[in-house]
Structure 1
Amino acid sequence: MPDPISDAERLATAQVALNRRGEVLRDLGRVFADHGHELYLVGGPVRDALLGRFNPDANDLDFTTDARPDQMQRFLRGWGDGLWDTGIEFGTLGVAKGDDRLEITTFRADSYDQVSRNPEVRFGDNLADDLVRRDFTVNAMAVRVTADGPTEFLDPLDGLSALRDRVLDTPAAPEVSFGDDPLRMLRAARFVSQLGFTVAPRVRTALQEMAPQLARITAERVAAELDKLLLGQDPVAGLDLMVETGLGDVVLPEIGAMRMAIDEHHQHKDVYQHSLTVLRQAIDLEEDGPDLVLRWAALLHDIGKPATRRHEPDGGVSFHHHEVVGAKMARKRMRELKYSKQMITDVSQLVYLHLRFHGYGDGRWTDSAVRRYVTDAGPLLSRLHKLVRADCTTRNKRRAARLQANYDDLERRIAELAEKEDLARVRPDIDGNEIMSILGIPPGPQVGKAWSYLKELRMERGPLDHDEAVQELLTWWNQQGEPRV
């Protein structure tokens, strides 16, 4: 639906927003003007100012100019607090000014070989040629920056109309734009999530036809876009676009595959739709801003279901051990996307644990089972609470209320045990050094076995006093038939 704000109102609001960064814009504009060069603010900052979502505290601003990199190096060296030239082969120079990190790129008029993402870099001579090579028209608007700060708004590709209609379209034909850089296809899904836009029909057609070209992009770049998509305001919309156009088949095939699996209750949604609902509900439970680990876990928690689907004799469908299979699949996919070991461990552990609560029933767990639940979750416990609650998507109000009440009861029991015990750090009542002293053994596997036994005992019975723990250790040791060393 088109935005009801008029273009005049939008431009006035953007001017006010950008003027909140007026000092650095005036300073930089003056330097370029004094040396006879044009300077324009471009891309995301302009788009966000027009959308009323410009963050004046953001310290990364992008500019384009007719000045060549070697010229900028000469006249900016004395202006900022430091320069970096890691992108200079592409015409980009970085400038530090106080807390700001400014990137300034010479007008570009590149050509691409349609095979790799590497352009044949050619500097351009005018703003229009530079803007037409950008990803989407809403990112191809510019604001002239002079010694007076942000001044003239320039929109040769009518990005303002696309922004008003909340539509993503490409400056050039989408086949050309996506052929130049296939990552732009995934970026379209990301902007759908972040901005609440839709894609133009010709863009959707190109996504469907060109999705396999995403395979040209490095895993790290893909992962960065997926993270931004998941952290957006409506990641479900972005994921849906990926799945419907085939982008997901290339970078995250496990998600679309869930459309084939019917949920065991199979009354109102398939596993794919269920997973998107869980993602939405997990987001609603976030307390301190977007939680990337929780969102990934919510999205992937049931990816093991297609591989474990079984048709039962009574006509039902089961997914036995899908949490075990799903955890392995999550680890494999996230390793292929080059995520950190910690990220992979956290997400796969949440997937593995998400179903365990369903054995709780009506509070039938022993204190030992509660301790194991907390210990296995470790620092992920608060996220596991949210994931399990979000995983309740039944339309049966009575069943939903019972599940939530049961989880309330589990959290109450965890809190009660935590008052008596250090549940966050369940460990044996005797440490390794004392085990060696009591048993008269050197460091080695025997110490580890004794430590593991005492930890299991601690799980089962809770904290023991010191004398009781020593006696239990000696009893166990004598039963092993192990000679003292």
Structure 2
Amino acid sequence: MQQRVVAALERMGDVLGELGRRFADAGEEIALVGGPVRDAMLGRLQQDLDLTTSARPEVTERLLKGWADAIWDVGRAFGTIGCRKGPWQVEITTYRSEAYDRTSRKPTVEYGDTLAGDLGRRDFTVNSMALVLGPDGVGEPHLEDPFGGLVDLAQRTLRTPGAPEDSFSDDPLRMMRAARFAAQLGFEVDPDVVAAMTDMAQRVSIVSAERVREELVKLVCAPEPRRGLLLLVRTGLASYVLPELPALALERDEHHRHKDVYEHTLTVLEQSIDLEDRLPEGGPDFVCRFAALMHDIGKPRTRRFLDDGSVTFHHHDVVGAKLTRKRMQALKFSGDVTDAVSTLVELHLRFHGYGSGEWTDSAVRRYVRDAGPLLPWLHVLTRADCTTRNARKAARLRRTYDDLEARIERLAEQEELEAVRPDLDGNQIMEILGIGPGREVGEAYRFLLEHRLDHGPVDPEQAERVLRDWWASRGEQP
């Protein structure tokens, strides 16, 4: 661990050395703190540096001028001044303490006077360590670790510097951060911390949707999201931030007439992660992972037990897509991300109509058209959704989907399938039919698009005959 720290400090030497000199010359203290110290000990290299200082924000800003390549102060209200120096993104925050009012969504910020006081108000002991900078940077590492973070790091344990109840009262979002760090670092959460999370889960409801969303994204994109999600469900936090997930756990019935939907969902998530190398930019990919997590959330609403003892979930794809959109809107996700995830949820069952290859070329075209640019993500989700323990059945499903993908590729080469459009554009439609812009042009366009999907591309003369026949069947004269 010491070797890792030394190697990390060598990488950061130039930027930390100059910051140490500037702040020391001004009579101020400054220290590398939190995540960068923890990650240096874990051998996780990064370009973002967090520092804490005795200097007030206006002093920090003055000391950075003439040295930093760019400076920003969007965090000034919280005592933070940010800057960029070469490849490094640096945030310097004044010693502080912050606490929530019982009914407030935002912390009140008070500046502190000591490094120890600043470390004591941080979320977990592994983030409550600091490397103090002197006039020559760090030099021989001077580690401040008043709460035993080094030991907890070695033991891969998440503990709070003080009583977890006090920490979570100060900022309830820290309960979600515990789950996120468990997923990111693979650490165990101290039993006292888990107990406090369970007792105080409802308190997370005062935190803004935007802050909850950011923690959820980081958790889902972590190396081990299952670990964090299980903790959210176990402590009851999921009931407030993602209630659709624990609802799946209720879907196990005493007669075992269908698979455990909750466990199936977590397995689909893990299998989708294993397939992320099929995506255009690889992973971690939030859209892919969140679609896997949400794909079956319509099942609790659609479960029906039949007289013969079987169970159905008819239309759970459509219901799930609506519930996904509603949840993501509540969490203030962007429209594009919400549309992408909910579309994947709605389409995730489409493949099962393929059978053993009975789809016509028209059906394949519609599959591609409906998926649009999300087709690679739909491929991953559909493949990941196979969790059967029957090896022969799993192999058959893989072969069948291989066949569908091969057909898509062949049609794409022949027909530019990803950009399917009618064989005539709007201007041509108006010229042939002798009409101006209006509703009829849109209807004609949609008719030609359906014809294109059913029959593939045709030449302009044939497209014109098809259009005129359709127009005449409506009782219209071109």
Question: Do the two structures share a fold, i.e. TM-score over 0.5?
Answer: yes
**Structure 2 CA distance for partners of 1:402 and 1:148, relative to 1, 3 Å:** same
Within 5 Å, give how 1:138-217 maps onto structure 2: 138-150=126-138, 151-217=141-207
Matched, 1:131 2:122: no
Choose from 77, 91, 94 the match for 1:89. 77
Please report how far the alpha carbon of residue 54 of structure 1 lies from its aligned counterpart in structure 2 after TM superposition. Answer: 2.3
What's 1:108 paired with?
96
C-alpha distance in 2, partners of 1:442/1:415? 38
Choose from 6, 10, 27 the match for 1:36. 27
C-alpha distance in 2, partners of 1:19/1:267? 60
C-alpha distance in 2, partners of 1:117/1:161? 33
Choose from 23, 28, 53 the match for 2:44. 53
**Structure 2 CA distance for partners of 1:453 and 1:120, relative to 1, 3 Å:** closer
Matched, 1:230 2:205: no
Please report how far the alpha carbon of residue 483 of structure 1 lies from its aligned counterpart in structure 2 after TM superposition. Answer: 4.6
C-alpha distance in 2, partners of 1:400/1:363? 16
What's 1:274 paired with?
264
Contact 1:39 1:63 (C-alpha < 8 Å) held by counterparts:
yes
Please report how far the alpha carbon of residue 80 of structure 1 lies from its aligned counterpart in structure 2 after TM superposition. Answer: 2.2
Please report how far the alpha carbon of residue 144 of structure 1 lies from its aligned counterpart in structure 2 after TM superposition. Answer: 1.1
C-alpha distance in 2, partners of 1:370/1:409? 11
C-alpha distance in 2, partners of 1:47/1:262? 40
C-alpha distance in 2, partners of 1:305/1:211? 25
Choose from 438, 441, 461 the match for 1:447. 441
Please report how far the alpha carbon of residue 268 of structure 1 lies from its aligned counterpart in structure 2 after TM superposition. Answer: 8.3
C-alpha distance in 1, partners of 2:62/2:346? 57
SS of alignment partner, residue 455 of structure 1 = helix
Matched, 1:434 2:406: no
Contact 2:258 2:311 (C-alpha < 8 Å) held by counterparts:
no
**Structure 2 CA distance for partners of 1:236 and 1:282, relative to 1, 3 Å:** same
Contact 1:19 1:149 (C-alpha < 8 Å) held by counterparts:
no
Please report how far the alpha carbon of residue 176 of structure 1 lies from its aligned counterpart in structure 2 after TM superposition. Answer: 0.7
What's 1:5 paired with?
none
Please report how far the alpha carbon of residue 124 of structure 1 lies from its aligned counterpart in structure 2 after TM superposition. Answer: 1.9
C-alpha distance in 1, partners of 2:97/2:395? 60
Within 5 Å, give how 1:322-401 maps onto structure 2: 322-401=316-395
Amino acid at match of 2:25: D
Please report how far the alpha carbon of residue 76 of structure 1 lies from its aligned counterpart in structure 2 after TM superposition. Answer: 2.8
**Structure 2 CA distance for partners of 1:267 and 1:160, relative to 1, 3 Å:** farther
Contact 2:257 2:310 (C-alpha < 8 Å) held by counterparts:
no
Contact 1:42 1:62 (C-alpha < 8 Å) held by counterparts:
yes
Render the CA deviation track for 1:427-482: whole Å, top value 9, x for unaligned: 11111100100000101000111111111111111111111111111111000013
Amino acid at match of 2:284: P
Render the CA deviation track for 1:259-310: whole Å, top value 9, x for unaligned: 12249x9578410100000000000001122111100100000000010001
Matched, 1:404 2:398: yes
C-alpha distance in 2, partners of 1:395/1:267? 16
C-alpha distance in 2, partners of 1:241/1:181? 18
Render the CA deviation track for 1:56-98: whole Å, top value 9, x for unaligned: xxx3211111222233233332332343333223322223323
Identity %: 58
Please report how far the alpha carbon of residue 143 of structure 1 lies from its aligned counterpart in structure 2 after TM superposition. Answer: 0.4
Choose from 223, 237, 243 the match for 2:233. 243
Matched, 1:471 2:465: yes
Render the CA deviation track for 1:82-115: whole Å, top value 9, x for unaligned: 4333322332222332343311112124454343
Please report how far the alpha carbon of residue 388 of structure 1 lies from its aligned counterpart in structure 2 after TM superposition. Answer: 0.5
SS of alignment partner, residue 31 of structure 2 = strand
Contact 1:93 1:105 (C-alpha < 8 Å) held by counterparts:
yes
Amino acid at match of 1:174: P
What's 2:292 paired with?
298
Contact 1:293 1:343 (C-alpha < 8 Å) held by counterparts:
yes
C-alpha distance in 1, partners of 2:398/2:174? 42
Could you list the structure 1 runs, at least 4 aligned residues long, displaced by more than 4 angstroms after superposition: 265-269
Please report how far the alpha carbon of residue 313 of structure 1 lies from its aligned counterpart in structure 2 after TM superposition. Answer: 1.5
Contact 1:428 1:451 (C-alpha < 8 Å) held by counterparts:
yes
C-alpha distance in 1, partners of 2:256/2:430? 56
Instruction: Give me the TM-score of the superposition, normalised by structure 1.
Output: 0.94
What's 1:6 paired with?
none
Amino acid at match of 1:133: R
Please report how far the alpha carbon of residue 246 of structure 1 lies from its aligned counterpart in structure 2 after TM superposition. Answer: 0.5
- The unaligned stretches of length 5 or more in structure 1 are 1-9
C-alpha distance in 1, partners of 2:106/2:438? 55
- CA-based RMSD of the aligned residues comes to 1.7
Contact 2:257 2:311 (C-alpha < 8 Å) held by counterparts:
no
Please report how far the alpha carbon of residue 316 of structure 1 lies from its aligned counterpart in structure 2 after TM superposition. Answer: 1.1
Contact 2:53 2:93 (C-alpha < 8 Å) held by counterparts:
yes
Q: Tell me the matched-pair count.
A: 472
SS of alignment partner, residue 103 of structure 1 = strand
Contact 2:356 2:400 (C-alpha < 8 Å) held by counterparts:
yes
Choose from 32, 35, 50 the match for 1:62. 50
C-alpha distance in 1, partners of 2:236/2:474? 59
C-alpha distance in 2, partners of 1:340/1:82? 28
Which is further off, 247-256 or 464-473?
464-473
C-alpha distance in 1, partners of 2:242/2:317? 18
Render the CA deviation track for 1:20-75: whole Å, top value 9, x for unaligned: 111111111111111222210001100001111122xxx32111112222332333
C-alpha distance in 1, partners of 2:379/2:103? 46
Which is further off, 99-108 or 195-204?
99-108
**Structure 2 CA distance for partners of 1:110 and 1:387, relative to 1, 3 Å:** closer
What's 1:4 paired with?
none
**Structure 2 CA distance for partners of 1:33 and 1:129, relative to 1, 3 Å:** same
C-alpha distance in 2, partners of 1:355/1:105? 49
C-alpha distance in 2, partners of 1:357/1:83? 51
Render the CA deviation track for 1:359-380: whole Å, top value 9, x for unaligned: 1111011110000001000000
**Structure 2 CA distance for partners of 1:448 and 1:266, relative to 1, 3 Å:** farther
- The unaligned stretches of length 5 or more in structure 2 are none
C-alpha distance in 2, partners of 1:143/1:231? 29
Instruction: Give me the TM-score of the superposition, normalised by structure 2.
Output: 0.95
